[in-house]
């Protein structure tokens, strides 16, 4: 019996031969990272272990992105901890505010993520990097602290569910809609501790930005990771970025999957996930009248240049409703610069949006867009739990950038067709 991408990558990173699902193995890590929230605790664990140096100063980075630019004294202290640790350990790569951006967008952009690698990050949306054919796993700070010291992690070899998407995408439907639709069908526990492997003709035709979005939200179905085979689209993305040689890994034709699920995308409209779970997805035609107070376009899910281009296409020659706050967050400094050079920022400002520096900010109710009691937001972020973006009695609706932009114009959750 053949093996899946995930099984092959784990096999290549451990000493055990012919691994099988359910095996507990110790695997070597290719790259590890943490942010200003998860990093300080990981550093505390590292210090308790008693080793003096990290396992490899070239294969670790800390990225302040959640509460940065620092919103208060406590967040400043958190950022200071990871900065000083990076300096003391002489880490090759540390990305200060102004040099980096949101970790899950920045690391692929900088060429740190390569096909066939085992990536470990102290953040639940680490699976984003699976869009490049890596096995990227989010872990807790305690596990990350051990990885910093040892360069290894214990894993149980997961089952894989294969998702096949066929047909022709409808207008305004992209990666965000495919993953919201999928989660609405299998539920937030539908892939617990499993790998979601995304494939089919539709996936092969998607841009790399759309693929990042899909893998980013695998965790919202409970998945250990999400992965897409590294084809020519991924290889083109890596051509000027890859920092090292790599081995492209594909699943065997006779690989054994826990199950295989197929979707005809012709049936998929732009999706909106209602509060308070990402699996509460509805087609835009069934949303009804939902007035909003805020629209957020950005985050590690939909803050890439293609997302901003789509938003600008909707907003050009339109105005944001006078009662609505539209907040746009480019995911990295490079994306911010690209958007500026393409004239997208001008479109946003003329429409009435405010542009934030790269930060996770409002996604976790941190800053740059916190909701008050009773307020409602449409957002391109990845979670809409109770109190996720602010007050426990606020509401967050998840969508793609086109819907979020259109909604900012109309003042209610709307299809792009209503304004274009």
Which tens digit of pLDDT belongs to each residue from 295-321?
999 999 999 999 999 999 999 999 999
Question: Is there a single domain that holds both residue 314 and residue 370?
Answer: yes
Question: Is there a single domain that holds both residue 258 and residue 228?
Answer: yes
Question: Is there a single domain that holds both residue 298 and residue 246?
Answer: no
Q: What is the mean pLDDT of the chain?
A: 96
Question: Is there a single domain that holds both residue 156 and residue 25?
Answer: yes
Quick one: what percent of the chain has pLDDT higher than 70? Answer: 100
Residue 17: its pLDDT value, please?
Answer: 82
Question: Is there a single domain that holds both residue 394 and residue 295?
Answer: yes
150: how many CB neighbours lie within 10 A of its CB?
A: 16
Residue 185: its pLDDT value, please?
Answer: 97
Residue 16: its pLDDT value, please?
Answer: 84
Query: Does the pLDDT of residue 5 top 90, yes or no?
Result: yes
Domain tally, the chain: 2
Residue 91: its pLDDT value, please?
Answer: 97
Peptide bond into 274 cis (omega under 30): no
Average confidence (pLDDT) over 367-385:
96
| pLDDT tens, position by position, 160-184 | 999 999 999 999 999 999 999 999 9
CATH number at residue 384: 3.30.499.10
204: how many CB neighbours lie within 10 A of its CB?
A: 14
Question: Is there a single domain that holds both residue 149 and residue 217?
Answer: yes
Outline where DSSP puts E strands in 230-293.
259-264, 271-273, 281-283
Domain with 378, as residue range(s), is: 271-418
Lowest mean pLDDT among 14-23, 34-43, 179-188: 14-23
Task: Tell me the C-alpha distance between 159 and 136, whole Å.
Answer: 15
**CA dist list (Å): 218 to 59, 103, 230, 354:** 24, 17, 17, 30
| pLDDT tens, position by position, 228-243 | 999 999 999 999 999 9
Q: Confidence band (pLDDT; 50, 70, 90) for 1? A: confident
Q: Confidence band (pLDDT; 50, 70, 90) for 272? A: very high
What are the backbone dihedrals phi and psi of residue 237, each rounded to the nearest 5 degrees, phi first? -65, -35
Query: Does the pLDDT of residue 371 top 90, yes or no?
Result: yes
Average confidence (pLDDT) over 76-84:
97
Question: Is there a single domain that holds both residue 232 and residue 275?
Answer: no
Question: Is there a single domain that holds both residue 39 and residue 177?
Answer: yes
Q: Are 26 and 154 in contact (CB under 8 A)?
A: yes
Q: Write down the pTM of the prediction.
A: 0.94
- Among the three residues 263, 297, 312, which one is the final residue of a domain in this structure? 263
Query: Does the pLDDT of residue 257 top 90, yes or no?
Result: yes
Kindly report the length of the chain.
420
| pLDDT tens, position by position, 88-131 | 999 999 999 999 999 999 999 999 999 999 999 999 999 999 99
Question: Is there a single domain that holds both residue 351 and residue 213?
Answer: no
Question: Is there a single domain that holds both residue 241 and residue 294?
Answer: no
Query: Does the pLDDT of residue 245 top 90, yes or no?
Result: no
Task: Tell me the C-alpha distance between 164 and 197, whole Å.
Answer: 9
**CA dist list (Å): 173 to 165, 176, 265, 271, 416:** 13, 8, 9, 8, 11
Question: Is there a single domain that holds both residue 55 and residue 117?
Answer: yes
Question: Is there a single domain that holds both residue 224 and residue 134?
Answer: yes
Residue 248: its pLDDT value, please?
Answer: 92
Tokens standing for residue 110: 């900088």
- Among the three residues 238, 263, 288, which one is the final residue of a domain in this structure? 263
What are the backbone dihedrals phi and psi of residue 135, each rounded to the nearest 5 degrees, phi first? -100, 105
| pLDDT tens, position by position, 330-362 | 999 999 999 999 999 999 999 999 999 999 999
Nearest to 311 by CA among 280, 355, 277: 355
- Among the three residues 243, 263, 283, which one is the final residue of a domain in this structure? 263
């Amino acid at each position: 019996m053949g093996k899946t991408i995930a099984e092959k990558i784990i096999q290549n990173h451990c000493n055990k031969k012919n691994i099988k699902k359910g095996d507990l193995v110790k695997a070597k890590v290719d790259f590890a990272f943490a942010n200003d929230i998860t990093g300080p605790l990981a550093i505390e664990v590292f210090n308790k272990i008693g080793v003096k140096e990290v396992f490899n100063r070239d294969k670790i980075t800390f990225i302040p992105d959640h509460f940065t630019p620092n919103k208060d004294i406590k967040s400043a202290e958190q950022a200071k901890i990871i900065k000083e640790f990076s300096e003391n350990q002489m880490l090759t790569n540390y990305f200060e505010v102004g040099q980096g951006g949101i970790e899950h967008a920045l690391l692929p952009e900088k060429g740190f993520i390569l096909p066939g690698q085992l990536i470990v990050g102290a953040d639940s949306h680490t699976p984003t990097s699976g869009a490049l054919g890596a096995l990227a796993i989010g872990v807790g700070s305690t596990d990350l602290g051990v990885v910093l010291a040892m360069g290894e992690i214990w894993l149980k070899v997961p089952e894989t569910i294969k998702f096949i998407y066929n047909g022709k995408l409808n207008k305004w439907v992209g990666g965000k809609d495919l993953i919201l639709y999928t989660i609405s069908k299998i539920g937030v526990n539908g892939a617990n501790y499993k790998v979601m492997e995304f494939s089919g003709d539709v996936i092969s035709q998607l841009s790399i930005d759309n693929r990042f979005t899909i893998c980013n939200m695998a965790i919202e179905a409970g998945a250990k990771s999400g992965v897409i085979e590294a084809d020519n689209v991924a290889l083109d993305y890596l051509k000027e970025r890859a920092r090292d040689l790599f081995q492209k890994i594909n699943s065997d034709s006779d690989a054994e999957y826990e199950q295989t699920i197929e979707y005809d995308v012709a049936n998929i409209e732009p999706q909106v996930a209602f509060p308070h779970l990402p699996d509460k997805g509805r087609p835009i035609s069934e949303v009804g009248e939902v007035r909003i107070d805020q629209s957020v376009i950005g985050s590690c899910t939909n803050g890439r240049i293609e997302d901003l281009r789509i938003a600008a296409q909707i907003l050009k020659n339109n105005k944001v409703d006078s009662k609505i706050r539209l907040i746009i967050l480019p995911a990295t400094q490079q994306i911010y610069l690209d958007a500026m050079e393409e004239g997208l920022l001008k479109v946003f400002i003329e429409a009435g949006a405010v542009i934030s520096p790269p930060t996770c900010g409002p996604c976790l109710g941190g800053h740059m867009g916190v909701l008050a009691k009773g307020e409602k937001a449409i957002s391109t972020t990845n979670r809409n739990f109770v109190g996720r973006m602010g007050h426990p009695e606020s509401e967050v609706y998840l969508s793609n950038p086109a819907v979020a932009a259109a909604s900012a114009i109309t003042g209610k959750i709307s299809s792009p067709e209503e304004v274009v």
